[in-house]
């Protein structure tokens, strides 16, 4: 039993598992933010453009519900395609935001990985000796 617990501890404490757990928590919070963005900011604008209609209200009714006063005898059966459209819009916005975040991270990584420009190479030892020889020749010939 002790070996099993140690193996689990080794697995759980690996960097990738912790990174993934943090990503899941942040992703859940990010999803709520994007859902609010879509529901509270984007879809009302789309509703105005479509004449004030709310996408989540769109549906194909297959069978109407039967009620007796306030009591529901048979619930309505419907395909709520408006909710599907809403979910697709949520997904596209989340995917676009993640794309922008990954693109920014890759740009930062690329800047870090680029080596500093190399200093211009100085003359080799042979070239320096040739220059000294030529200068000495010049001085002796004067």
pLDDT tens for each residue of 70-107: 888 888 899 989 888 878 877 887 788 778 878 888 88
Alpha-carbon torsion, ordered 58, 59, 61, 67, to 10 deg: -60
Place of tokens 């190399």: 118
Query: What pTM, to 2 d.p., does this model score?
Result: 0.49
CA separation for the pair 89, 97 (Å, rounded): 12
CA separation for the pair 30, 91 (Å, rounded): 12
Averages of pLDDT over runs of 10 residues in the chain (142 residues) are: 81 73 82 80 78 78 85 86 83 81 84 69 82 84 72
For the chain, the average pLDDT equals 80
Full 3-state SS string of 18-86: HHHHHHHHHHHHHHHHHHHHHHHHHHHHHHHHCCCCCHHHCCEEEECCEEECCEEEECCEEECHHHHHH
Helix (H) or strand (E) holding 14: none
């Amino acid at each position: 039993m002790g070996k099993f617990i140690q193996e689990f501890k080794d697995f759980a404490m690996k960097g990738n598992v912790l990174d993934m757990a943090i990503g899941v928590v942040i992703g859940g919070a990010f999803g709520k933010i994007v859902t609010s963005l879509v529901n509270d900011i984007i879809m009302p604008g789309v509703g105005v453009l479509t004449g004030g209609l709310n996408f989540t209200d769109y549906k194909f009714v297959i069978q109407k519900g039967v009620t007796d006063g306030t009591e529901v005898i048979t619930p309505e059966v419907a395909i709520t395609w408006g909710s599907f459209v809403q979910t697709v819009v949520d997904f596209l916005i989340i995917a676009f935001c993640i794309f922008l975040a990954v693109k920014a991270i890759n740009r930062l990584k690329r800047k870090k990985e680029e080596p500093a420009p190399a200093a211009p190479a100085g003359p080799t030892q042979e070239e320096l000796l040739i220059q000294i020889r030529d200068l000495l020749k010049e001085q002796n010939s004067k």
